[in-house]
Chains A and B, each alone.
Chain A
Amino acid sequence: GENVEQHPSTLSVQEGDSAVIKCTYSDSASNYFPWYKQELGKGPQLIIDIRSNVGEKKDQRIAVTLNKTAKHFSLHITETQPEDSAVYFCAASSVGNNRLAFGKGNQVVVIP
């Protein structure tokens, strides 16, 4: 099955700086790559996703890039704010399958 690795496990950034989280996946058939943000005491919430027919997608301060050849995708958060502090999960799934394989999560801490 799909195996998703996520790095780093913890990331601290100064407010206003950028944060980048990288994930790698193992199944070349994977074609859907969502990112979830989990705040304390809440469930994970989808913040952005990308499908394999595009290489990059942006939504305001967040962007995701996908490199299918290298089998990795990254989340970029620009101009970080304290409310960006959370655990971020990447995930991957393939055609005909809604069994999302999640990474182990990144704790992002934005220092005011």
Chain B
Amino acid sequence: DTAVSQTPKYLVTQMGNDKSIKCEQNLGHDTMYWYKQDSKKFLKIMFSYNNKELIINETVPNRFSPKSPDKAHLNLHINSLELGDSAVYFCASSQGRESSPLHFGNGTRLTVT
């Protein structure tokens, strides 16, 4: 199936831990994103990579570090997790850098206890 897939789907961890979320797309897109959706459903962009180059870096704590080993993968590593990091994290991809549809994964629900 052609899709954006992210793992794990659920992640429960304690404060202070370090965790990673992986994302892969097989759509042939050259731009990938990480979005955070809070409990009120608000979608906020965190990062965007185009052909492995960071092009959007919103104001997020530097505990969050994206890594793009190639244009089909964009992983998100989070250090020293805090309660406020609990949210659903979505990976997405699109073709090109301008005004093109986003294709989202099904999300990773992160719960920090």
Which residues on A are within 8 Å of B, measured CB to CB? Answer: 31-32, 34, 36, 38, 41-46, 49, 51, 87, 89, 93-100, 102, 104-105
Separation of A98 and B101 alpha carbons in the complex (Å): 9
Interface contacts beyond A34-B102, A45-B104, A104-B42: sample of 14 additional A-B pairs, CB < 8 Å, sorted by A: A32-B99, A36-B102, A43-B90, A43-B105, A43-B106, A44-B43, A44-B102, A46-B102, A89-B43, A94-B99, A96-B98, A98-B96, A98-B98, A102-B42
Separation of A98 and B93 alpha carbons in the complex (Å): 11
CB distance from B18 to the nearest CB of A (A): 25
- Residues in B neighbouring A45, C-beta threshold 8 A: 104
Chain B residue nearest to A106 (CB atoms) is B41
- Residues in A neighbouring B101, C-beta threshold 8 A: 34, 46, 49
CB distance from B94 to the nearest CB of A (A): 6
Separation of A78 and B98 alpha carbons in the complex (Å): 31
The 8 Å CB contact of A41, one of B40, B98, B103, B106, is B106
Contact with A along B84-110 (1 / 0, CB 8 A): 000000101010111111111111000
Q: How many of chain B's residues have a CB under 8 angstroms from any CB in A? A: 25
Nearest first, the 7 closest Cβ-Cβ pairs linking A and B are: A43-B104, A32-B99, A102-B43, A105-B41, A46-B101, A43-B106, A44-B104
A99 touching B90, Cβ below 8 Å: no
Separation of A72 and B96 alpha carbons in the complex (Å): 26
The 8 Å CB contact of A100, one of B40, B41, B45, is B45
**Can you name 7 A-B residue pairings with CB atoms under 8 Å?**
A43-B105, A43-B106, A44-B43, A46-B101, A96-B97, A98-B99, A105-B41
A100 touching B102, Cβ below 8 Å: yes
CB distance from B41 to the nearest CB of A (A): 5
Separation of A78 and B101 alpha carbons in the complex (Å): 23
